């Protein structure tokens, strides 16, 4: 009897005009998003390859020099750069890729060890002023697969499920179903399983079409780690969409008419998918204000002027004293930058915590963690860059690059390049750390899904067939 109910629900959903329209719109938007996202990734990857090649050419030039030419060596050849390798998963979830720097250049200051990557793209990434137009632009700037699922498919799921119970109640279909001694548990289970099956198949089809386009048309290779991440993204997406499906089913059980379900769920969708994360982020920004990057630049310019005046006001000042002044200036610069980053990080964590009331925001955060395009991945990249660049300069000083009087052997080209060409994509969090954080973030979604399922069963069991 349960399988009969499932088949009935499947046929009713698939043969309706609303399902066919939703499916057609999803395919069109998927094609557009895949084309734009893959083109952007291909361009980013080409830029990365060019920069890596240029750096390797510079190192090759340095290693080809004779000992007699070392004094004339261009110092810039030793100012190495760590590049953040773009991930193919950014095609599916662009995340924060465009908000932060993708490379770190190391200048050598022996007394201070300054290391900082200036954000690329959106440089003014702080402040407490609410700008609705900018927020709207940020939301719709990257229409990738995760955006289509988070905004569009969630809305389509609502339109598929709004009349599951209320529609049959209005047409007296429920009376005929229960007149044939079909239990209420079987009816509600059939509707739930049919919805889960349709969501799973449609989502799987969309991801397979995307993969075929990427692999066959764009010839972008995927390794086992990326396949595992896509499997996790598929699972999380089903849980997220089922949340809206079950909420619509629950309201449909309790509503008198389908029109009430549509209006109620549209309001819930607007709040949960858009207003709640925006308000959470903006409240966090207002509660923990941070100066803009332009203000930090102004502060550093004023500090530079102050130290320049100190170094030039006394004509008898020695070169060693000037070096000490310069080093103090670098320390102040480093402290200003690190203080700014620390305050920005605290503001971001507060805003992110407040926005967690929205299932759409939770889904976005989980997707970014899976794709390796989250803030945490950027911080991991920065920590790795600091460690490797400090190690690099330590090796430079212990080899005969900068002085021909040293007798130690020079570094080999293999040792040098392996540090900066992140060909194994090891500048992102490991899949084990990613999976553990995903389990924690998914817990509230799974709990709410379970509660909605039980509430639908209990309410439908005790609701009269005709309200």
Q: What angle do CA 279, 265, 277 make, to 5 degrees?
A: 15
pLDDT at residue 236 tops 90: yes
Chain-wide mean pLDDT for the chain? 76
C-alpha closest to that of 260 among 269, 248, 271, 270:
248
Residue 403 counted as domain residue: yes
Determine the pLDDT at residue 47.
87
C-alpha closest to that of 438 among 193, 236, 169:
236
pLDDT in tens, 89-128: 999 998 888 777 677 766 554 433 444 444 333 333 333 3
C-alpha closest to that of 420 among 457, 450, 393, 438:
393
pLDDT at residue 59 tops 90: no
Q: Lowest mean pLDDT: which of 9-23, 129-143, 231-245, 297-311?
A: 129-143
With 0-12 CB in 10 A as exposed, 13-18 as middle and 19+ as buried, what is 124?
A: exposed
pLDDT at residue 235 tops 90: yes
pLDDT at residue 212 tops 60: yes
Q: How confident is the model at residue 136 (pLDDT cuts 50, 70, 90)?
A: very low
C-alpha closest to that of 282 among 138, 154, 144, 148:
138
Tokens of 140: 């719709």
Determine the pLDDT at residue 289.
76
Determine the pLDDT at residue 241.
94
Q: How confident is the model at residue 68 (pLDDT cuts 50, 70, 90)?
A: low
Q: What percent of the chain has pLDDT over 70?
A: 75
Determine the pLDDT at residue 254.
86
The rounded distance, in Å, linking the Cα atoms of 457 and 253 is: 9
Residue 246 counted as domain residue: yes
> 392 lies in which domain range?
2-462
pLDDT at residue 164 tops 50: yes
| 378 or 153, which is more confident | 153
Residue 312 counted as domain residue: yes
Q: For residue 371, give the 3-state DSSP assignment.
A: helix
Determine the pLDDT at residue 253.
87
Residue 296 counted as domain residue: yes
The rounded distance, in Å, linking the Cα atoms of 338 and 334 is: 6
Determine the pLDDT at residue 128.
37
| 239 or 381, which is more confident | 239
Task: Read off the pLDDT of each residue in 138-164 and give the average, rounded to a whole number.
Answer: 82
Determine the pLDDT at residue 239.
93
Q: Lowest mean pLDDT: which of 208-222, 294-308, 404-418?
A: 404-418
Q: Lowest mean pLDDT: which of 99-108, 206-215, 258-267?
A: 99-108
The rounded distance, in Å, linking the Cα atoms of 356 and 358 is: 5
Determine the pLDDT at residue 63.
60
Residue 213 counted as domain residue: yes
Task: Read off the pLDDT of each residue in 247-264 and give the average, rounded to a whole number.
Answer: 89
pLDDT at residue 422 tops 60: no
- The model's pTM is 0.80
pLDDT at residue 316 tops 50: yes
pLDDT in tens, 330-357: 778 778 877 887 887 788 788 888 888 8
pLDDT at residue 217 tops 90: no
Total of domains in the chain: 1
Packed helices 184-212 and 17-63: angle between N→C axes, nearest 10 degrees: 40
Q: What percent of the chain has pLDDT over 90?
A: 12
CA distances from 372 to 89, 280, 356, 412, 435 (A): 7, 23, 19, 32, 12
Torsion of CA 158, 248, 17, 172, to 10 degrees: -160
Tokens of 94: 């662009």
pLDDT in tens, 170-195: 887 877 877 777 888 888 888 899 99
DSSP 171-182: TTHHHHHHHTT-
Residue 425 counted as domain residue: yes
Task: Read off the pLDDT of each residue in 374-378 and give the average, rounded to a whole number.
Answer: 83
Determine the pLDDT at residue 126.
37
The residues, ordered by sequence, that sit 6+ positions from 20 with a Cβ below 8 Å of its Cβ are none
Tokens of 104: 């770190």
Determine the pLDDT at residue 458.
83
Determine the pLDDT at residue 75.
52
The residues, ordered by sequence, that sit 6+ positions from 103 with a Cβ below 8 Å of its Cβ are 51, 81, 82, 83, 84, 117
Residue 467 counted as domain residue: no
Q: Are 107 and 390 in contact (CB under 8 A)?
A: no
Residue 294 counted as domain residue: yes
Half-sphere exposure (Cβ direction) of 89: Cα atoms closer than 13 Å:
25
Determine the pLDDT at residue 380.
81
Q: How confident is the model at residue 367 (pLDDT cuts 50, 70, 90)?
A: very high
């Amino acid at each position: 009897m349960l399988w009969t109910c499932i088949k009935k629900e499947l046929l009713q959903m698939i043969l309706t005009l609303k399902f066919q329209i939703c499916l057609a719109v999803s395919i069109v938007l998927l094609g557009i998003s895949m084309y734009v996202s893959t083109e952007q990734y291909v361009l980013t990857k080409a830029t990365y390859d060019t920069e890596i090649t240029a750096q390797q050419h510079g190192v090759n030039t340095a290693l080809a020099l004779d000992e007699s030419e070392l004094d004339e060596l261009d110092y810039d050849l030793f100012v190495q750069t760590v590049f953040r390798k773009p991930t193919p998963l950014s095609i599916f979830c662009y995340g924060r890729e465009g908000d932060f720097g993708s490379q770190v250049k190391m200048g050598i200051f022996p007394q201070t060890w300054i290391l900082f990557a200036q954000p690329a793209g959106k440089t003014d990434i702080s402040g407490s002023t609410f700008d609705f137009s900018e927020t709207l632009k940020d939301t719709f700037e990257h229409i990738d697969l995760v955006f289509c699922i988070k905004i569009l498919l969630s809305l389509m799921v609502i339109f598929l499920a709004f009349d599951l119970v209320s529609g049959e109640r209005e047409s007296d279909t429920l009376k005929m179903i229960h007149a044939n001694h079909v239990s209420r548990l079987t009816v509600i289970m059939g509707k739930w399983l049919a919805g889960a099956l349709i969501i799973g198949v449609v989502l799987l089809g969309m991801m397979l079409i995307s993969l075929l386009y990427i692999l066959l048309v764009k010839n972008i290779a995927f390794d086992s780690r990326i396949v595992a991440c896509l499997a996790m993204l598929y699972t999380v997406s089903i849980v997220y969409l089922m949340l809206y499906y079950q909420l619509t089913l629950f309201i449909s059980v309790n509503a008198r008419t389908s029109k009430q379900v549509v209006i109620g769920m549209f309001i819930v969708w607007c709040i949960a998918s858009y207003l709640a994360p925006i308000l959470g982020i903006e409240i966090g920004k207002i509660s923990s204000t941070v100066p803009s990057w332009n203000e930090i630049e102004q502060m550093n310019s004023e500090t530079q002027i102050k130290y320049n005046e100190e170094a030039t006001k006394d004509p008898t000042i020695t070169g060693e004293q000037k070096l000490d002044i310069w080093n103090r200036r670098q320390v102040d610069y480093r402290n200003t930058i690190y203080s700014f980053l620390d305050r920005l990080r605290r503001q971001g964590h507060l805003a992110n915590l407040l926005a967690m009331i929205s299932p759409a925001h939770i889904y976005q955060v989980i997707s970014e963690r899976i794709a390796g395009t989250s803030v945490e991945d950027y911080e991991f990249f920065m920590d790795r860059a600091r460690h490797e660049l400090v190690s690099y300069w330590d090796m430079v000083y212990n080899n005969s690059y900068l002085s021909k009087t040293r007798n130690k052997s020079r570094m080999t080209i293999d040792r040098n390049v392996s540090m900066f060409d992140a060909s194994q994509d090891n500048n992102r969090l490991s899949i084990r750390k990613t999976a553990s954080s995903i389990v924690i973030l998914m817990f509230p979604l799974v709990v709410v899904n379970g509660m909605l399922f039980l509430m639908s069963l209990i309410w439908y069991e005790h609701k009269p067939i005709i309200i």
